[in-house]
Structure 1
Amino acid sequence: MAIFRGTINNDTLTGTVGDDQIYSLAGDDTLQGSSGNDRLYGEDGNDYLYGDNGSDRLFGGNGDDHLQGGDGDDYIEGGEGSDYTEGGNGNDYLVGGNESEALWGDSGNDKVFGQSGNDYIHGGDGEDYLEGGDGSDEVSGDSGNDKLYGNIGNDFLDGGGDRDILEGGDGKDHLVGGGGKDTIYGGAGDDFLAGGYDSVIGFGGNDSIGGKNDIDLLFGGAGKDTFGIGYSTDDGNPTTDGRRDYSLIKDFNPQEDTIRLNGAKSNYILKPSPQGLPQGTAIYFDKPGSQPDELLAIVENKSGLKLSDRYFTTTAEDNFYGTSQDDYFDAGVGNDYVRAFDGNDTLLGGDHDDFIVGDKGNDILLGGNGNDSLLGTTPFSPMDSDFVSGGRPNPSVLGKGQIDTLTGGAGKDNFWLGESLSGKYYSSYRYYDDDNASTVGNNDYALITDFNLQEDKITLIGQPTDYLLKATSGSLPAGTGIYINKPGSEPDELIGIVKDISPTKLNLGNSYFFYTNPEPISVPI
């Protein structure tokens, strides 16, 4: 067995065709195992470890590391720091650390454990076991019959395709089965459960997955749970009543749980369950004319439920998730969460207090009435593609190439041009900085159309001295440009425009500018 040891410098160490042990020591090192069953130790520094062929064991150690298993059944442990971990081909075992991690199983039947921190976990292909651990995690099963566990924290679980088992654990969780016959357990806490993926992305796109020929089991568990019904359970056959594809709510508690219907209550009918199916109250979609009404759900062992009772609500208060297409959302009345993902989207919050996220693309965000928060972009998620080629999340791409239009409307609105999150590697995110030292950023910024100095806020990262206010000129909309104060001869970077307001009326030290991180911002890695 060959043994390689690095130095205190930034080393590149490559193994042999045999079984190697490679130690990086200090520095930001690159370790590659080559063939054989290798052991790679990142130790100190921000290291890149690649197992390559063979069943390898990778240990990140201290620092913010990128670990990739390659082919073979690998064991990968991130260690301290905010790490990016990818299993590659094979049946891999991935373990995160105590900070926010991104873990990807890739191909094979993988086991992935997030540990502490707010983690982003994807199973990839295969039958995976995914566990978020502590923190508010996003866990996606992707293809295969997967088992997903959120554990402690307010988690988002998406089973993906095939037959999955989802369990939220403690916290206020959002669980979506996706395509396939899924079993969903909310666990302790106030949860949202839905059988089909269209229940969260079926607004504004032509969806064909979720709910079709599937019988999903929904278990709320302890806490005040919400069951989403009526999003995509119509089988599309006007001659059948839908008894082959519906959601079975196993433990509904009328005293504390809620059934959220998609659309007006007048679109639905309650009946006793049909013969041969679990007994309880059946929820049907009221079909027009002579078409049979469509069975959407059965509330097992509960009779006498009424649509007029408080436990039936509608999508007046809801979470809306977009697609990769150009989506149009009108959230309507209620305190809504709207997130568009990719595409050039138009998002309307409507009445009440909304949280609206454009993500990628040139988006139009309209808060409407109420105290709204508007974000043209947002830090990375496994459902996004905000990653550099090496796999690390890159803060500099947030908003790059985007011109987002933000209109708060009536109420006290917050326009976000940056955000600070937990974890030490990418804790601060500046939006609309293209990281190009030769340009002023006129091709990517947020246009704030109706800023009210008396009640609105603009959220920035850092402190007032990190920014400059200048009058816009040329082809830019008239108003005040918000620029990052770049060092030396580098042009200052435009990240936002407050339309139709002169720089003489704004002051970076005023309370309408809110700074989420008291430390000066640093150049993204």
Structure 2
Amino acid sequence: MAIFQGTNANDVLIGGAEDDVLYGYRGQDSLSGGAGIDKLFGGEGVDTLNGDSGNDELFGEAGDDILNGGTDNDKALGSEGNDTINGDAGDDELLGEAGNDSLSGGLGNDILYASTGEDLLNGNAGDDQLYGEANNDVLFGGADHDTLYGGDDQDQLNGNDSDDILYGERGDDILSGDTGADQLLGGETNDILSGGADDDRLFGEGGDDTLNGDAGQDQLSGGDGQDSLFGGEDDDRLFGEAGNDTLNSGTGTDLLNGAEGDDALNGDDGNDTLDGGLGSDRLAGGAGEDKLFGSEGDDSLQGGEGNDELQGETGNDTLSGEADNDKLFGNDGNDAMNGDAGSDELYGASGNDQLNGGAGDDRLFAGTEQDTLEGGEGNDQLYGEIGDDQLSGGSGTDQLFASEGNDTLNGGAGTDQLYGEAGIDKLLGGAENDVIFAGSETDSLDGEDGNDQLYGEAGEDTLLGRSGNDRLDGGDGNDGLLGGAGNDRMVGSLGQDTLTGGTGNDRFIYNTGAKFSRTAIGVDTIRDFTHGKDKIVLDRTTFTALKSINQRRFVRTDQFAVVERDGLAAASKARIVYNATNGKLFYNANRGGAGFGSGGHFATLVSQPNLAATDFLIVT
């Protein structure tokens, strides 16, 4: 082994083919190891060290030195001063030490260590490892598969080409993957991570981080802190994790999951899936056909453009479909849902929910509690469910269906259809010409404005026609029918019904669809019959013994008679007999025989008004 020693002057030392040791000492020295495994010590001053061939060790020592490893596997240590260290070919290990150093790995799989200064590390070609250490370092991985560690303070890490792994560690770092499928881990503090091209994985970890997926199918995880995540191009997966995070989709079909904290999730172009996770979150689908899940907490969901699906899940949520044809599900909690534009479907589920269809032809379904449904504009369908629900059709031609519970249905503007069901329901037609059907209990039907049709069912129903020319049919039970203003038609049907025509020329209709039966027709009370104005309409399907001319009048005047005692009514030869003393109206089916035969008492006119044959219409 040869030893070459310089002086305090500017020396040039050149090793031989063997394993040499070169000492520059003071001065601006130039040391070249030559062939063999050499050790070069620059000493004080600004020195240049060249390892040349062989696995060499280079020590810059004091001064701003330049260290070049050479063709093989070298170790270079900068020491004090602002050093420039180049590994060149081979698998090299470079350490900057004190000062602001520049380290370049060159060819081969290199390990580069920054130290106490603000250092620049460049791996160049090969699978390199770069360690930032203290102060603000800048690291470039270069070509191939590199691993970069930021260390302390505010570092910049750049993966460059190929698939790299970047660790920000401590300090507010900036990590950029560039091309390749990279992994970026921010570390403890507030970091900025950019995936670059290709399919990257970004982990913010501790601190308030900003993550940008850029191009490629990326996965972003915010970690602790209040993080901002941007998916970028292509189909990405974003996870906010702990903290109050903001997640922003990009142009692809993305998955956003807020996880813990009160998060804001924003979709963009593409068919995105947004899941708020824990906390009270804000979700906006953006363009495309999106799926939004509020999960736990009191969440706000906005579908945006496209045919979206919104699921509130647990908590008291606010759901807005916005544009196009959306499906909204409140699920648990007291939810407020608005379909907005488009033909939407809204489902209340559990909790006291508010459903508003907005514009378009919507379908609204109440849930298990006491819900409020408003159809809004368009031709809507509203369905009550368990609980005492309130349904309002709004404008348009709507259909409203009560269900279990005591429901209130209001058709609003438009020609509507209302259907009662189980429970004591209140049904209001609103403006225009409505059709209203009672349910199985004791219901209240109110036609309001327009020419309405009201049909009672089982139960003792109340039917109120109000203004317009209405048709009222009591159905089963002892019902109360009030026509109100207009020329109304009233059918008591089965039961002991009370019929009040109100103002106008009203008709009281008797037709069971079968031959007269006391049980089927009942005995009705007509409260306000006006002679010469109102009509009692008898259908020959029920009153089979009657004959008429042109299906309008009695064939003979003796088919109708007025008496003063019920006994005279039974003995009368007339088919229809009126007791002017008590207002009872009889059908005398056997005409003159004992009793009324298959007929009997079917109506009582309150206040015993005058009654003549001309007050009847006979129809078939």
TMscore range, shorter length: 0.3 to 0.5
TM-score, normalised by the number of residues in structure 1: 0.47
TM-score, normalised by the number of residues in structure 2: 0.40
- The one of the two structures with greater contact order (alpha-carbon pairs below 8 A, sep at least 6) is 1
